Every structure is written in structure tokens, then in C-alpha cells.
Amino acid sequence: MKFYQLTPDERRKLLVDQGHLTPADAALLAQTPMLAPDVAAHLIENQIGQFALPLGVVQDLVVNGQAVQVPLVTEEPSVVAAANNGARIAALNGGVTATAPLHRVIGEVVFDAPVDLDRAAATLRAHEPEIRVVAAAAHPSIVRRGGGLADIAVERLGDFLKLSLSIDPQAAMGANIVNTICEAVAHAAAAWLGQAPLVAILTNGGGAATVATVKLKSATLATKDQPGPAIAARIARLSALAQVDEDRAVTHNKGIMNGISAAVLATGNDGRAVAAGVHAFAATSGRYQPLATWRLAANGDLCGRIALPLQVGVVGGATGALPVAQAAMRLGGYRDVAALQTTLAALGLVQNLAALRALAGPGIQAGHMRLQANALAIAAGATGPEIAAVAAGLGAGQMSLARAQALLAAQRKDDES
């Protein structure tokens, strides 16, 4: 039986047998509700409940020669299926190669219209040694771990004066570390300039990109109805379209983020920070661009490349507080920030591959609606074995809630008689 045909219990058992999941994590994932009431109550303000979403897994996404089991949390039925499909094709071709940049997060301390901007800029530059001392004193533990303030830059932006602090947050995503350092430096700089700053906060932009590439033999892209070279050629044209059509680029990138957002959420990282940084990066040229591109090599191979900044960490925040996020970290084998970033970039690339292959071939609706049938059956009120029965009934015709409700009513009538 294929993995997707097993029950959740059987899937967990197999992952344990394969050494990907610890028995304790398997027991944790089987547990409901997932969050202890005191954890839920202390994680956010005004907590009144829990919001459950399914956690799935992409099997054997090959990244830099390693098969990674990627946990995903998503409400969209087709996301895990598409990612697995893309990962399978990439694996047939030796997998994805990816490199992560130096992990840096930038903080900004901005002064509003100092009377003499040039003098204020020179004052900040002259205080670089003091800025380093203040930054180290604000967060001694990050310095002890080998991180902290790396570089500073001072620039004029209109009548604003901006001090940028490039900070190495080590294994953390860095928001709290950077904001703490920014506020301490802002306080000291206010005394040097005789003026309080307008703002002191990290930026979710400006990060360097993680890059992933893959080279596919066109034969491995064949669909039921179309030969591989035809699909490869259409994927390359879809990529070219996304470069000139911003409407298409947005949806192209949405498909990439289907996987990345789900994998980021599974780890308890801040998905809004990642999304803000990614979309700002896509628009850096002044025109919103696709994050992943595909071209045909002279020998007919399809070459894919993705580049995107990924502001994530492997310690701290909700990652440390949520037991399931911890289990997801272990399942993904994310031992450092680079391992998580390279996996996320590779995932985005294969997710895009699966979407473009479907668009180049049969279109996405056939696969989507098949997977959507379960969600419709549940929305109609089906429970237990009714879900599969109603979904199977839906598969034979039009997908609508009304039909799902009618099928469910008929099913229940049958069961009664």
C-alpha cells in the first residue's frame, strides 16, 4: 500500500519504523487536544479555544543528497499531494541542490529630520565603537554564543537618518534579539544626537536569499496524456509568462508559498515575517517577479531555480513553546537555520514544479476537486465512514455542497433501511 492509502496510525508507525519519528513524538501526534490548556492560555492574550489543522508530511524531499521528511500544516487539500509529487520527480533526478546565506537580521533605528543631517550622520559613524559596546551589553548571551552585532551602516533617506544594525542571531529567527539591541542602541544614540528616535525595530526585509536549483530529465515530467518534452517546454513558457505578467507571477508565487507557509507554520515560525520578506523580495526590481524560474537547457533538460529570503529560526519563540512544533523540528531534521532554509527553498521549488506540471498538462482542477471532495463531504456533515462514501459519490459528478448534502442524506437513508 502507498503511504497516502494508510491510516494516520499506520503512517506514524511506518515513520517510527523508518527512524524518522521518535515513538514519543508519534504518541504526541496521536494525542488530542494537542495543546495543554495552560500552554494555550499563556501563548496568546484572550485565548478562548484551540484551532486545529492537519499536520502532513512530504516524504523524501532530497535536498543536497539527504532525504528530508518535511512536516506541513495546511488547510488546502492539494498542498501535501502536490509537494510529494514534485519531491518524487526531483528525487528521480538526483534531488535539489540548495545553499543558505549567512544568517543575518537587520534592525533599523531612524531619526526624524535631525536639524543638521550630515552632522548627525557623522556623529553616529563616530560612535561605532560605543554602538558595539551598547549592543553587546544589551544581549550578552547572543555574544557568548558567537553572534550579536556584525555591521552597522548609516544613511540618509530624504530627511530621515537611518542607522542599520546587521545582527547575527545564531539559531534564532532573531526578532526579539534584534529589537532588544535596537532599542538599547536607540536609547544611547538619542543622547549623542540630542533627539529621540522615531522608530527602533527589525526589518522583515533586506535578508539575503536562499537559493535552490534542480535539473530534470524531460522524460520524468511526462503525464498520462503528454510526453515529457512537451510538458517541459510548456513549463518553461509558463515561467516566461510569470516574468512578464504580474497577475500570473502572484499566483505562481502563491503556489510556492503553499508549501513554504505550511512548512514554516509546522515549525512554529512566524509565517507573516517570511511572507512579508518573500513578497518584498519578489518586487525588488520594481516589478513583481516570480520567485522560481524554469528554462530548457540545450540538451532538453528542464532547469529550475528559486531564490528567496527566509527569516526563520530553529530555537525560541513558539518553536520552543509548542510541543508539536518541536516534534516537527525533529521530523524535518532541522538542526540549524541553514538546514531549515535549504529545505524550505527546495520545497518551494518542487511545489512550483508540481503546480506548473499540472497547469502544463491536464490543468489543476481534476486533482484539486478529487481532493476537495473530502472537505465538501465533511462540510456537508459527513462523519466517520460517511466521509469516504460521500467523497466517492461526489467523484462521479459535479462537486458542490448541495450534491454532497444530497449524497449524505441518501447514504443515511440507505443505512437506516
Residue 14 or 233: the one with the smaller Cβ distance to ligand MEV is 233
Asked if 258 is part of the footprint of ligand MEV (rule: CB under 6 A), the reply reads: yes
- By annotation, the residues acting in catalysis are 76, 254, 270, 368
Asked if 234 is part of the footprint of ligand MEV (rule: CB under 6 A), the reply reads: no
Percent helix, percent strand, percent coil in the chain, to nearest 5: 55, 20, 30
- Among candidate residues 137, 140, 155, 295, the one with its CA nearest the CA of residue 216: 295
Contact 306, 348 (CB under 8 A): yes
Minimum gap (Å) between residue 408 Cβ and ligand MEV: 26
Show the binding pattern over residues 74-113: x = contacts ligand MEV (CB under 6 A), - = does not: --x-------------------------------------
Show the binding pattern over residues 193-232: x = contacts ligand MEV (CB under 6 A), - = does not: ----------------------------------------
Q: What part of residues 57-76 is at the interface with ligand MEV (CB under 6 A)?
A: 76
Instruction: Report which residue type is found at 1.
Output: M
Minimum gap (Å) between residue 328 Cβ and ligand MEV: 22
Show the binding pattern over residues 333-362: x = contacts ligand MEV (CB under 6 A), - = does not: ----------------------x---x---
Cell 522560481 belongs to residue: 292
Sequence-ordered strand ranges (E) for 13-104: 55-63, 66-73, 97-99
Contact 124, 177 (CB under 8 A): no
Asked if 252 is part of the footprint of ligand MEV (rule: CB under 6 A), the reply reads: yes
Q: Is 374 exposed, middle or buried (0-12, 13-18, 19+ CB in 10 A)?
A: middle
* Torsion angles phi and psi, residue 303, rounded to 5: -105, 125
Residue 296 or 364: the one with the smaller Cβ distance to ligand MEV is 364
What DSSP string runs through 265-292?
A: HHTT--HHHHHHHHHHHHTTTSS---SE
Grid coordinates representing 124 are 553616529
Asked if 254 is part of the footprint of ligand MEV (rule: CB under 6 A), the reply reads: yes
Minimum gap (Å) between residue 416 Cβ and ligand MEV: 39
Minimum gap (Å) between residue 295 Cβ and ligand MEV: 17
Residue 242 or 312: the one with the smaller Cβ distance to ligand MEV is 242
Name the segment binding ligand MEV (CB under 6 A); options: 174-182, 203-211, 248-256, 297-305.
248-256
Name the segment binding ligand MEV (CB under 6 A); options: 129-137, 194-202, 253-261, 385-393.
253-261
Minimum gap (Å) between residue 242 Cβ and ligand MEV: 8
Q: Which of 251, 326, 374, 405 binds ligand MEV (CB under 6 A)?
A: 251
Asked if 296 is part of the footprint of ligand MEV (rule: CB under 6 A), the reply reads: no
Strands 105-112 and 160-168: antiparallel
Minimum gap (Å) between residue 89 Cβ and ligand MEV: 16
Minimum gap (Å) between residue 300 Cβ and ligand MEV: 23
Q: In what order do the strands lie in the sheet with 160-168?
A: 148-157, 160-168, 105-112, 199-202
Name the segment binding ligand MEV (CB under 6 A); options: 171-179, 254-262, 313-321, 397-405.
254-262
Residue 203 or 243: the one with the smaller Cβ distance to ligand MEV is 243
Grid coordinates representing 14 are 511506518
Around 85, how many Cα atoms within 13 Å sit in the side-chain half-sphere?
17
CA 365 to chain CA mean position, Å: 24
Question: Does an H or E element contain 390, and which?
Answer: helix 385-395
Q: Which of 364, 375, 399, 406 binds ligand MEV (CB under 6 A)?
A: 364
Nearest residue (beta carbon) to ligand MEV: 255
Asked if 255 is part of the footprint of ligand MEV (rule: CB under 6 A), the reply reads: yes
Minimum gap (Å) between residue 54 Cβ and ligand MEV: 16
Which alpha helices (H) appear in 245-364, and where do they start and end? 246-266, 271-282, 317-321, 323-332, 337-360
Q: How far apart are CA 303 and CA 236, in angstroms?
A: 9
Around 42, how many Cα atoms within 13 Å sit in the side-chain half-sphere?
8
Residue ranges binding ligand MEV (CB under 6 A): 76, 251-252, 254-255, 258, 355, 359, 364
